[in-house]
Amino acid sequence: MSLLEKFFSTKLSNNHKIIKIFGIKISKKVQNSDTSKKTLQNLQYLKEVFARHKNSDINISSLNIAFIVPPPIKGSGGHRNIYRAVKYLKEQGHKITVYYTDLLEPADIVKQNISSWFYDMTDIPFICYEGLLGYHDVAIATWWETAYCLKNNIEKINYPFYFVQDFEPSFSPMSTQYIMAENTYRLGFFHICSGPWCKNFLIKKYNAQAEYFQFPVDKSIYYVKEKINTNSKRIIFFAKPEMPRRCYEIGIQALEILKKKDPNVEIILFGSNKAKFVPFEAELKGLLPTLDDLANLYRSADLGIVFSTTNPSLVPYEMMHCGLPVVDLDMEGAESKYGDSRDNVFLVNPLPEKMAEELYNIINNPDLLKRVGTNGRLWAEQEFDSEDKMGQVVESTILKVLNNKENLKQ
């Protein structure tokens, strides 16, 4: 019995009428269960990927690439980056497979959601990860837990990569989980990082192999045009209480103090539907329906608050492209996220009382707002890549690693 047969024999019963699918016996009863529909779907595709031999020649113009992904989150910039890379590599002629983890939904539902929330995945096979990967030229982990999926199947992968978008150990308190997440940077994979902060951090702390792509900004959506709102002093806050590294509570404390000091300031919270109540007058927009709505919100505001205690999200750079001056926390290394210049961004004291005082001085100084907003926009327009450029860097990084090896077929 093959490894694949042994694996699926633990999931499929043969107590009823038996049919054969790819040489593995599966009962009619089991076929009709919700759980086995997903398993059968996996089996259909695994037949193809298991047919590949690990040591076969690699065609670099049409690589067999697997992405191992966590459950998708609607509105997530990190997930958008993953599927942006998937889309680009597919368009360049590579054969892409997406293995999704920690979800019970069948592949067609997962694919439908991702196509609706991010990019069209119609022609890309999706398979639920149940412990096994097929043979692939390249496999790319995209979250610390998926790095262990890759590690556990490393004998079937010619070139392992790790798509790193933040320092994920910091998402947990110091614990086993923290150390396990940190250990993924010691597994020897080549790291493709979102932004220079991650690359420099991994090289310095873990002596890791790493390259980075710059944050991609869709300049057809995020750009400067005439200010939509001219009647108030408007501050927007990227408010994500479910994401500790965004320091939601500190922002709320500072804004409460500011609102008492200056009742004329209009405050809008956005970015999450989990922010349901605040102790001062504010508009809670939650997740906006479209990216165009998001860009229009940026263009309507005078100041955008986005806290990035580790690697930034796309949000501050999208704000800058719309001409909106950005506020971030004044922490070690913060300048490096904004061109190593405090002329491009407002870096404020993390103490809420001090922060509120600084915000008051900023929002009531139109000339300062204009100057920092212009500096940030000019820097961002020059610094940040298009979506295609991001994909090009991901592909060129993969090819560079492969081209350092032998047994390539042009």
Query: Which two structure tokens, joined as six digits, stand for 245?
Result: 């590294």
Whether residue 281 sits in one domain with residue 186: no
The answer as to whether 304 is a domain residue is: yes
Which of the pair, 253 or 196, is modelled with greater confidence?
A: 253
Query: Per-residue pLDDT averaged across 90-98, rounded?
Result: 97
Confidence of residue 45 (pLDDT cuts 50, 70, 90): low
pLDDT digit string, tens, across residues 127-138: 999 999 999 999
Whether residue 157 sits in one domain with residue 248: no
Asked if pLDDT for residue 4 goes beyond 50, the answer is no
Whether residue 296 sits in one domain with residue 193: no
Give the count of domains, the chain: 2
pLDDT at 149: 98
pLDDT at 57: 76
Asked if pLDDT for residue 26 goes beyond 70, the answer is no
The answer as to whether 17 is a domain residue is: no
Confidence of residue 386 (pLDDT cuts 50, 70, 90): confident
Whether residue 276 sits in one domain with residue 128: no
How many Cβ atoms sit within 10 Å of the Cβ of residue 66?
A: 30
Confidence of residue 313 (pLDDT cuts 50, 70, 90): confident
Point out which residues pair with 267 in neighbouring strands.
235
The answer as to whether 335 is a domain residue is: yes
Asked if pLDDT for residue 121 goes beyond 80, the answer is yes
pLDDT at 388: 87
Total-model pTM? 0.76
pLDDT at 91: 96
The answer as to whether 14 is a domain residue is: no
Whether residue 142 sits in one domain with residue 41: yes
Which of the pair, 23 or 218, is modelled with greater confidence?
A: 218
The answer as to whether 7 is a domain residue is: no
Query: Per-residue pLDDT averaged across 148-160, rounded?
Result: 97
Asked if pLDDT for residue 3 goes beyond 70, the answer is no
Query: Which two structure tokens, joined as six digits, stand for 154?
Result: 């490393």
Residues with Cβ within 8 Å of 83's Cβ and at least 6 positions away in sequence, in order, are 114, 118, 119, 121
pLDDT digit string, tens, across residues 339-367: 989 999 999 999 999 999 999 999 999 99
The answer as to whether 83 is a domain residue is: yes
Q: How far apart are CA 57 and CA 64, in angstroms?
A: 11
Mean pLDDT over each residue of the chain, to the nearest integer: 87
Which of the pair, 281 or 409, is modelled with greater confidence?
A: 281
Burial class (CB in 10 A: 0-12, 13-18, 19+), 10: exposed
Asked if pLDDT for residue 10 goes beyond 60, the answer is no
CATH number, domain with residue 92: 3.40.50.11090
The answer as to whether 303 is a domain residue is: yes
Burial class (CB in 10 A: 0-12, 13-18, 19+), 406: exposed
Whether residue 243 sits in one domain with residue 150: no
Phi, psi dihedrals of residue 125, rounded to the nearest 5°? -70, 135
Whether residue 127 sits in one domain with residue 87: yes
Q: How far apart are CA 246 and CA 244, in angstroms?
A: 5
Confidence of residue 50 (pLDDT cuts 50, 70, 90): low
Asked if pLDDT for residue 24 goes beyond 80, the answer is no
Whether residue 209 sits in one domain with residue 122: yes
| CA dihedral sign, ordered 180, 206, 156, 138 | positive
Q: How far apart are CA 110 and CA 104, in angstroms?
A: 9
Which of the pair, 187 or 55, is modelled with greater confidence?
A: 187
Asked if pLDDT for residue 288 goes beyond 60, the answer is yes
Whether residue 155 sits in one domain with residue 301: no
Query: Per-residue pLDDT averaged across 223-227, rounded?
Result: 86
Domain extent at residue 112: 33-213
CATH number, domain with residue 284: 3.40.50.2000
Asked if pLDDT for residue 380 goes beyond 50, the answer is yes
Give the least confident one: 52-56, 143-147, 177-181, 209-213.
52-56
Q: What is the three-state SS of the chain? A: CCHHHHHHHCCCCCCCCEEEECCEEEEHHHHCCHHHHHHHHHHHHHHHHHCCCCCCCEECCCCEEEEEECCCCCCCHHHHHHHHHHHHHHHCCCEEEEEECCCCCCHHHHHHHHHHHCCCCCCCCEEECCCCCCCEEEEEECCHHHHHHHHCCHHHEEEEEEEECCCHHHHCCCCHHHHHHHHHHHCCCEEEEECHHHHHHHHHHHCCCEEEECCECCCCCCCCCCCCCCCCEEEEEECCCCCHHHCHHHHHHHHHHHHHHCCCEEEEEECCCCCCCCCCCCEEEECCCCHHHHHHHHHHCCEEECCCCCCCCCHHHHHHHCCCCEEEECCCCHHHHHCCCCCCCEEECCCHHHHHHHHHHHHCCHHHHHHHHHHHHHHHHHHCECHHHHHHHHHHHHHHHHHCCCCEEC
Whether residue 45 sits in one domain with residue 179: yes
The answer as to whether 245 is a domain residue is: yes
Query: Which two structure tokens, joined as six digits, stand for 288?
Result: 């906006």
Asked if pLDDT for residue 96 goes beyond 90, the answer is yes
Whether residue 375 sits in one domain with residue 322: yes
Whether residue 52 sits in one domain with residue 198: yes
